[in-house]
Structure 1
Amino acid sequence: MADSPRESTAREFEIVVYGATGFVGALTAEYLARHAPDGTTVALAGRSRDKLESTRRGLPARAADWPLVVADADDEAALTALAQRTSVVLTTVGPYAKYGRVLARVCAESGTDYVDLTGEVLFARASADENHETAVRTGARIVHSCGFDSVPSDIGVFELHRKVTEDGAGDLTDTTLVVTSMSGGVSGGTIDSLRGQIDEITKDRAAAKLAASPYSLSPDRSIEPDFGRQNDAPVLKGSSIHPSLKGWKAPFVMASYNTRVVRRTNAILGYPYGKTFKYNEVMSVGSSPVSPVLAAGVLAGLGAFVAGLAFKPTRFLLDKVLPAPGSGPSEKTRQKGHFVVDIYTTTTSGEHYVSRVKAKGDPGYAATAMMLGESALALVKNRDELPSLGGGVLTPASGIGTALITRLRAAGMEISARKV
């Protein structure tokens, strides 16, 4: 790996939180103020100094002296100057296709590590195409999707593979994430990102084809295994995933993005999960006799929701009731949330394994702030534990790996794997 500017020149800050005045940005800044190791140098960045000062006043006392950096998302010179002052940029400014491409590029050019919480497949694909080779050269780790999209999925499969390898049980084959339990609100930013992606694919046939490809984030789609048509919105009988699972499982709304991140990890790492690795995600709707009806209802509801956002008259009505960008639930609601995901696999030796990723806190807010904050901290505090790939446009597992698992466990998240 080429020497990065960070390794040859000391940076003023370790972490810059860009978008600190937004809802999730402020939550992440608060998380860092409470949990970052003593001496961690953090700055807050955004486009309004007044709003940054207001955000800083609302943070714990440790943040009282954090510097403020003013930079607009379309001001390339300001973003470049920001990137050159810090080791890591942590950004919550989305939709990323609209506001994130310049920042990701200048971080790659500056040898500055970068983390975000995008769930936008077209943005992640564009970033890989535009920034990967530059980041390899400069040593920058451009790590997308470090929130609920897609840390539980990516790290959960990574830990599952580690346990299977440790036991000498072969490679992973059919692997399915099941959202066993989840409680939390829907992010206004997530909805806004979905709107943007729907707009892009409805007016661009090539973009629609790319978004539909199961390997849309893979480095080289031509060498990926051919399983025929893959359905990322399946309705599955629980026993087809593992004999212990009852009832039917519904499509998981984030599967169309998370599955592609996990497949990119497998490809970037040289296919350690195996070339017969096949991955999907579903969610539990209970095990009662009506579970097949509920699962089918979820599928129909998801289809109707996406269609509603694609059709201008119904989008107008939906926009009146959906959460707005920058808004979010109360602190009480955020703290009461939780998620539990279980990832089941059958290995090439015929053994069954499961990994579990479990955390307290609303998945899209409190838990995401923890995952995003710990991702940035791992890049600056656990560099000796990072994967040996060096720079590039990476995933949580391929870019941060066991360093992230170590930090998340210490923060209270369960990440485990076992034979079943």
Structure 2
Amino acid sequence: MSNDSDPRPETGAAAQAAQSRDLDVVVYGATGFVGRLVAGHLAQHAPAGVRMGLAGRDRGRLEEIRNGLGPGAAGWPILIADAADDASLDALARSARVVISTVGPYARYGLPLVRACAEAGTDYVDLTGEVLFHRESIDRYHETAVRTGARIVHSCGFDSVPSDLGVYRLYRKVAEDGAGELTDTTLVVSDLRGGISGGTVDSLRMQIDAMKKDKAARRTGLSPYSLSPDRTAEPDLGRQSDSSIVRGSDVAPGLGGFLAPFFMGPYNTRVVRRSAALLGHAYGRGFRYREVMAVGSSPLSLVPAAALTAGMGGLVAGLGFGPTRKLLDRVLPAPGDGPGEKARANGRFAVDVHATTTAGAHYRSRVAAHGDPGYAATAVMLGESALALALDRAGAPESAGVLTPATGIGEPLAERLRAHGFTLEVERR
């Protein structure tokens, strides 16, 4: 396994060529549910002069999508590309400065495009929440991307922008205040309203199957440092559980009740730990991180916390067992399905990152937004991630390789999200 702890880019011909591409941003998978939402966001909000394109397998469907995006998208070119055709992906990567991929499950379709972008020095963003895909992307293409100057930035949606930027901006504020380093840090989902996508369920099925068949995949999936550049260099902090019920008062003063494990925590925590490692463990050698969700503020909240924890375990177990999987498949959303426009508009989320520093100070970072977190808000996060790389790259961290939202984009993304109504704030408490 490669040690990818140095993400500084080398000067390469491919990186230089990326500055003179025909297009600035291309949405690959624009005919899919989330792809259409991302294309719609960019059609409405991309600054004038940004050269956009749509890519996928079916020209007719792509033209239909483009026709529905309004007059601003009328001149967007169509690019034909297929995950099974390396030549078409190479041509796609060479055509653009940034490629957005919404084609999942990524373990099935994603790696060929990552390869093409890494080799071409093309920046890339996606919305994966698949730890095994992310790990394989690192092992295969991080060093290539460092050499060419490409930024391969996974997880630029609800997985895992709120988590990663929330902790990153909290770290920057603590450092600015001279208040020491982060120690115990907990993200609390304080408000969440949204649906689950068929694509997310399909990705979960694939990961469960892979971990059942392969012991190495199972070890990777269960390791808290599965995305770290060098797991042997991680601090020995003892057991870090992503599936424990937590007492609110153990997280922050004044926080009541019990907190259940957040169902996206097993992935998000690994992304945040990768960011910490890529930044040279700047968060602190005693940085411990977990994610939970509020289910009530009274002592009786232990009951729904326990029920939610059991339900999450039951879903994973059910999808891993043939007979129950067939039953679950009848009620869970299918790939390509998603909530309607009204439900997407009525969604929302808020997460609070609570941290104690080595100096004994307490801080809270909040990230919140209106719109279904997995759809409406994710379309904004993914689209603005691409625009930040295309237009604000000079303000992002100096890095290349397989990165995270914090280490690949950082503050320019936070500024863009704030301009679209997101709350991003940090306070000492």
Counterpart residue type for residue 325 of structure 1: P
TM-score, length-scaled by structure 1: 0.99
Contact 1:235–1:296 (Cα < 8 Å) also in 2: yes
Matched, 1:292 2:325: no
Contact 1:6 1:87 in 2 (8 A): no
1:78 to 72, 88, 92: 88
| Residue of structure 2 in register with 1:103 after alignment | 113
Aligned-pair CA distance for 1:116: 0.2
Q: Tell me the secondary structure at the aligned position of residue 299 of structure 2.
A: coil
Corresponding position of 1:235: 245
Q: TM-score scaled to structure 2, two decimals? A: 0.97
Indicate which of 21, 29, 34 corresponds to 1:19.
29
Q: Do structure 1's residue 411 and structure 2's residue 420 form an aligned pair?
A: yes
Structure 2 residue identity aligned to 1:175: T
Alignment of 1:20-59 (within 5 A): 20-59=30-69
1:319-334 correspondence runs (5 A): 319-334=329-344
Contact 1:175 1:279 in 2 (8 A): yes
Task: Choose from 306, 312, 324 the match for 1:314.
Answer: 324
Tell me how far 1:4 sits from its aligned partner: 4.7
SS at match of 2:25: strand
Q: CA deviation at 1:6?
A: 4.5
- 1:45·1:68 contact (CA, 8 Å) conserved in 2? yes
1:396 to 2:371 alignment: no
1:347 has 2:323 as partner = no
Deviation at 1:162, TM superposition (A): 1.0
Give the whole-Å Cα distance in 2 for the aligned partners of 1:140 and 1:259.
Answer: 24
What amino acid maps onto 2:385 in structure 1? S
C-alpha deviation, 1:3, in angstroms? 3.1
Kindly indicate whether residue 307 of structure 2 is the aligned counterpart of residue 304 of structure 1.
Answer: no
Q: Show structure 1 runs of 4+ deviating over 3 A.
A: none
For structure 2, the 5+ residue unaligned runs are 1-9
The one-character-per-residue Cα deviations of 1:97-144 (angstroms, maximum 9, x if unpaired) are 000000001100000000000000000000000010000000000000
Amino acid at match of 1:202: K
Instruction: Point out where structure 1 has 5 or more consecutive residues left out of the alignment.
Output: none
C-alpha separation between the residues in 1 aligned to 2:150 and 2:282? 23
* Residue identity opposite 2:325 in structure 1: R
What one-letter code is carried by the residue in structure 2 that aligns with 1:160? L
Following the alignment from structure 1 to structure 2, what is the Cα–Cα distance between the partners of residues 237 and 60? 50
Distance 1:42 1:5 in 2: 21
Alignment of 1:106-255 (within 5 A): 106-255=116-265
For 1:8 and 1:63, locate their aligned partners in 2 and report how far apart those are by CA, in whole Å: 26
**Structure 1 352/196 Cα, relative in aligned 2: closer, same or farther at 3 Å?**
same
Contact 2:15 2:148 in 1 (8 A): no
Give, in whole Å, the separation in 2 of the partners of 1:98 and 1:333.
29
Q: How far did residue 288 of structure 1 move?
A: 2.8
The one of 265, 268, 271 aligned to 1:258: 268
Paired residues, what number?
A: 419
* Kept after mapping to 2: 8 A contact 1:177/1:343: yes
1:306 is paired with a residue whose SS is helix
C-alpha RMSD over aligned residues:
0.8
